[in-house]
Structure 1
Amino acid sequence: MSVTTTTHLNFRGVAREALDFYQSVFGGRVVAVTYKDAGNIADETEADWVMWGEVTGDNGFHVMAYDAPSHLPWSQGHDPFFVSVRGTDADEISALWEKLAPGSTVRQPLRPAAWAPLYGMVTDRFGVTWVLDVAVPYGG
């Protein structure tokens, strides 16, 4: 099986600080891609915010995080996390999407993105938001 799940924490402007803190607690390595790095700047004041980040440790610790841009609704305690489902096989991710999406609110259709062969976001009928994507190695 090629799928893993990871808690994906959502912040507004402090994701890098949070990732660095979690790394100081749990160890591991921080990777952070800013909106500027990804060429996805909607607001110049948010260019250095984290669009995608993670801490991964040899001890098994793994958490992902990003800064919700100001054009999206966000408040601390509302939508504080996503469950990230990453896989290496597009057919497997697509099949999971087809089972998860009916009856859910599609926030981002499953389709190719600049950073992944497939990426989509859906909030299920229980209020849990799932991010599904096909993982690719980070080349930054």
Structure 2
Amino acid sequence: MGTILNPYISFRDTARAALEFYQSVFGGELDLRPFADFDFAKTGNPDDDNKVMHGHLRAPNGMNLMAADTPASMEWKGGTAISVTLSGDDKEEITGYWEKLSDGAKIGEQLAEAPWRDWFGMLTDKFGVDWMVNIAGPDTARK
């Protein structure tokens, strides 16, 4: 296997719900491991022990998304310093992802043809994760 770059998102209490939502968007297999499954990771707080220590969504097209909850005993830095980006030239597939991600989202820029002739949009999903979507236009499609 070559090197793979995977987004890994930290949540406070919503990793399970977020990953289940992303599974409904992208499909695939979801592996959720709570803190309670691992002796070394038990927090001593029953609420935290049931949260996700590690979650991994493997979509059928090779996309991976990972996430975890940050226990109450640790500092959590939610924020908008990073966006998850979906890019490609399959307009139908990516538009379908956009429509599903838009459920409960705050749309920053509606998915539409951009001045550079690609289709582009930005949103913050209902879990506070920023997404950028770019569909290659006819002059920029990479084969």
- Identify the TM-score tier after normalising by the shorter chain: 0.5 to 0.7
Name the residue aligned to 2:11: 11
Name the residue aligned to 2:52: 50
CA distance in 1, matches of 2:11, 2:80: 10
Task: Spell out the pairing of 1:56-67 with structure 2 (5 A cutoff).
Answer: 56-67=58-69
CA shift digits 1:72-125 (9 cap, x unpaired): 1114317879xxxxxxxxxxxxxxxxxxxxxxxxxxxxxxxxxxxxxxxxxxxx
Deviates more, 1:19-28 or 1:33-42: 33-42
Which has the greater radius of gyration?
A: 2
Amino acid at match of 1:30: L
- Is 1:23 the counterpart of 2:23? The answer is yes
> TM-score, normalised to structure 2's length?
0.51
CA shift digits 1:48-95 (9 cap, x unpaired): 1000011101212210000011111114317879xxxxxxxxxxxxxx
Q: Which has the higher contact order (CA 8 A, sep 6+)?
A: 1
More strand by share: 1
CA 1:65/1:24 → structure 2, altered by over 3 Å: closer, same or farther? same
CA distance in 2, matches of 1:68, 1:78: 17
Q: CA RMSD in A?
A: 2.1
Superposed displacement of residue 3, structure 1: 2.5
CA shift digits 1:18-40 (9 cap, x unpaired): 00000000110110100001122
SS in 2 for 1:6: coil
Q: Number of aligned pairs?
A: 81
More helix by share: 2
CA distance in 1, matches of 2:32, 2:81: 21
Task: Spell out the pairing of 1:1-140 with structure 2 (5 A cutoff).
Answer: 2-39=2-39, 40-42=41-43, 43-77=45-79
Report sequence identity in percent: 33
> TM-score, normalised to structure 1's length?
0.52
Following superposition, which runs of at least 4 residues in structure 1 exceed 2 angstroms of deviation? 78-81
Task: Structure 2 unaligned segments of length 5 or more: list them.
Answer: 84-143
